[in-house]
Chain A
């Protein structure tokens, strides 16, 4: 049953792509990991459960839409409201004030109720409704108006301003500065927060909607286990229990419903297997060094005495270091005085001083070359992933063509799409393996890692190559391509399992301290 078999493989690689997220997707067919078991590479815990065991590099998480986030908030408010015996509106204010830390709020509320209520503007006379009033002899400190029929407003702090100024102030804060839960009284140095009842009284309908949207936003911002998906225009938030202190041992990649895979720790795009601290270090290094390092490598040498980097910008080989005044020969790096009186005659190659100087030079070059080795491969995968994506766009066209010329059904040409997805994902992983490897200390572990890296890279390049074949060839390559796709995915799983397990166990030795 040829086509049945194909179907299965397509699906399996598909759900490998998805199973970062919804486990239901991978419940029914687990053939992927069965194959891995045949390979005999560590999946010990795999078959103990009915559910396919989570791979060691995966983390649990949920994706929430705006309604769910609102529902969450409402539920928490409800719950705390029952405990504190406060109306929901006041509870919401209290919770926002406590940054949604229920336990801390309840505790401090029980200890010093009055103080807490006072702090959020819900003090004893808060139930006396705040009103917009006219006050005799009032001068607004903001606009300096003193008309007798001026509408004014003040919160409990007593800083009274005219309603127009108050409105303008609030609209500035909400519209321009995007603030909501922590808008302060306009009075100088006053820390009283504008509560939402006062706000309701003062602002119009349009600002209202925006205000509540911002309040919802602060809920996600305040909770450590929630983060917005960083993809443009994405409305989802991710719920994940991984704590900041775990980030040295776990790389918590999550997959948003919008399709964007990112790291929950630092919200950068998926960077497995490298931990966040390493990524940060690497990106900083790349930003600082890459172009400069390339140029330095091509155009400069270091002074043999003080190590300053020198660019030769004239024709003469007699160099005098600006910094330490050391005189040397650009060609052989030897001391200039050993060149005798002749103006330029670099026949000193075997001279000892030149030899030593070149050694030192070589060492300093080596570290640069090492960096460039990793950087170029890192950058190459990034670039190739972009090119693969371009090809993928053409693939869609190829898929339609295949349906016409080879009279294949829509489902039968899906293998191209899963191959393309596998390529994207594997290249993303490969890219970061180079940053990871750059900081690895050399030991046996590293060799296993490099073998895994090599296998994955070869698999990826093989698959990538097939993509460039013409449409009439593609139909015949289907089985081969399916095999290679699932092989790529498998190699990626193996590499990530290996790195993640050892990261969790703290077995990796790095040549820098990651903090």
Chain B
């Protein structure tokens, strides 16, 4: 169980030090973690809101990427971003097999997503959001995203 060992070490580190705006919401066991993130600068799109990320780890983590989605709860909305579908599914090459490197970890994913939000100026959902959300039944890792614009 290399995944568990690695996650145990990640957790120890996370408890010692966390980047600003990122906190552990729930990390029991090595199947599923929840992390909270906030956008720190005064980007008006995300001001005053906290978002929750749901991580699911497979047995081959970190060789394979974890499954990461935004989770909607009464306190946590889904952030508005052209790469985030309204059901919380995130289209980011880092989370895809091609873009993933086993060197990444929970913290670096959180930081990447945080900066993805920080840099965004568009108050919009991905193209075809409504249709995708209505029809998508597959898990995020089984979706073949086309990363058409890597600059957002």
User: A-side interface residues toward B, CB under 8 Å?
Assistant: 141-145, 159, 161, 164-165, 168-169, 172, 177, 186-190
Contact = CB atoms under 8 A, between A and B. Distances in A.
A142 B102 contact: yes
A168 B101 contact: no
Interface stretch (B21-29, B41-49, B60-68): B60-68
A141 B103 CA distance: 6
Given A144-B6, A144-B9, A165 B101 contact: no
Nearest to B10: A144
Interface of B: 2, 5-6, 9-10, 60, 62-64, 97, 101-104
19 contacts: A142-B62, A142-B63, A142-B103, A143-B62, A144-B5, A144-B6, A144-B9, A144-B10, A145-B5, A159-B103, A164-B2, A165-B2, A168-B63, A169-B102, A177-B97, A186-B101, A187-B101, A188-B101, A190-B101
A-B complex: 10 closest residue pairs judged by Cβ atoms: A188-B101, A144-B9, A142-B102, A188-B103, A141-B103, A172-B63, A186-B102, A168-B63, A169-B63, A143-B6
Given A142-B62, A169-B63, A172-B63, A188 B104 contact: yes
Nearest to B8: A144
A443 B12 CA distance: 79
Contacts of A190: 101
A186 B103 contact: yes
Given A142-B6, A143-B2, A168-B2, A189 B64 contact: no
A190 B99 CA distance: 11
A168 B61 CA distance: 10
Contacts of B60: 168, 172
> DSSP class of A's interface residues: helix, strand, loop or mixed?
loop
Contacts of B5: 143-145
A319 B74 CA distance: 46
B6 A172 contact: no
B142 to A, nearest CB: 13
A187 B100 CA distance: 9
Nearest to A190: B101
A144 B105 CA distance: 11
Nearest to A142: B102
A168 B5 CA distance: 15
A190 B101 CA distance: 9
Contact of A165 (B64, B97, B102): B102
A143 B10 CA distance: 10
Contacts of B97: 177
Nearest to B3: A143
A362 B10 CA distance: 71
A141 B2 CA distance: 13
B102 A189 contact: no
Contacts of A177: 97
A449 B102 CA distance: 61
Given A143-B6, A172-B63, A188-B101, 11 more contacts: A142-B62, A142-B103, A144-B6, A145-B5, A161-B102, A165-B102, A168-B60, A172-B60, A187-B101, A187-B103, A188-B104
Nearest to B97: A177
A154 to B, nearest CB: 13
Contacts of A189: 101
B5 to A, nearest CB: 7
A177 B5 CA distance: 24
Contacts of B63: 142, 165, 168-169, 172
A456 B61 CA distance: 61
Contacts of B2: 143, 164-165, 168
A86 to B, nearest CB: 30
